[in-house]
Amino acid sequence: MAWRSFVRICLVLCTLCVVPCFVAAKKKPPPVPINLNTATSEELQLVPGIGPATADKILLMRKSYGAFKSVDDLLAIRGIGAKRLEKMRKYLTTGKVGPTSRPASAAKPAMPSPAKPATSPKAAASPKTPSPPVDPPCLSR
C-alpha cells in the first residue's frame, strides 16, 4: 500500500514539473519585434521570457524613467540578466513605431505643441533697441 502511494506521489510531482515546461515551450514568438516604448502588457507577454510580472516591471520602469534608449536598458530590471536578455533581444526593439509593429488605431495621440505668442510683422521686422541702463539714485549722507 505504501509503495502505491509513493508511486502516485511521484507521478503527480512529475506531472506538475513537466507539464508547465511543455506549455511554456508552446509560446509562439511575435512575428515582428515589439517596441518597448509603446507596447502594452499583453504585447510584451508575447515575447518568450516575459510573463505578466516582468511585463509589469517593464511598464513601471518606462513610466518612471521614460522611454528606453536601448534594449540593454532592460538589464536594470530585477530578474532580467544577460542570458535572459539575449534570448529576448531578437523580439524587442526601441525604435520608432513602424506600420508593422502597431496598428494605426492603437497609436498614441501626439502631444500638442505649446502655443507661441503672436507677433506682428512690424515687431518682427524692426529689431528692439536696448534701452540705456538706469543708474540707481545716489544715496548721500
CATH number of the CATH domain containing 55: 1.10.150.310
Predicted local confidence at residue 68, as pLDDT = 95
Read off the pLDDT of each residue in 118-128 and give the average, rounded to a whole number: 55
Q: Do residues 59 and 77 lie in contact, with contact meaning Cβ atoms separated by under 8 Å?
A: no
Q: How many domains does the chain have?
A: 1
Q: Which domain holds residue 38?
A: 29-98
Buried b (16+ CB within 10 A) or exposed e, 95-115: eeeeeebbeeeeeeeeeeeee
Report how far residue 93's alpha carbon sits from residue 107's, in angstroms, rounded to the nearest whole number. 16
pTM value is 0.51
For residue 73, is it within any domain? yes
Read off the pLDDT of each residue in 115-132 and give the average, rounded to a whole number: 56
For residue 55, is it within any domain? yes
For residue 9, is it within any domain? no
Report how far residue 79's alpha carbon sits from residue 57's, in angstroms, rounded to the nearest whole number. 10
For residue 132, is it within any domain? no
User: Nearest Cα to 49, choosing from 16, 13, 74, 17?
Assistant: 74
Predicted confidence band of residue 89 (pLDDT cuts 50, 70, 90): very high
For residue 89, is it within any domain? yes
Q: Do residues 46 and 29 lie in contact, with contact meaning Cβ atoms separated by under 8 Å?
A: yes
Predicted confidence band of residue 99 (pLDDT cuts 50, 70, 90): very low
Q: Which three cell numbers stand for residue 6?
A: 509513493
For residue 119, is it within any domain? no
User: Nearest Cα to 36, choosing from 64, 15, 57, 67?
Assistant: 67
For residue 134, is it within any domain? no
Read off the pLDDT of each residue in 12-30 and give the average, rounded to a whole number: 60
Mean pLDDT of the chain: 74
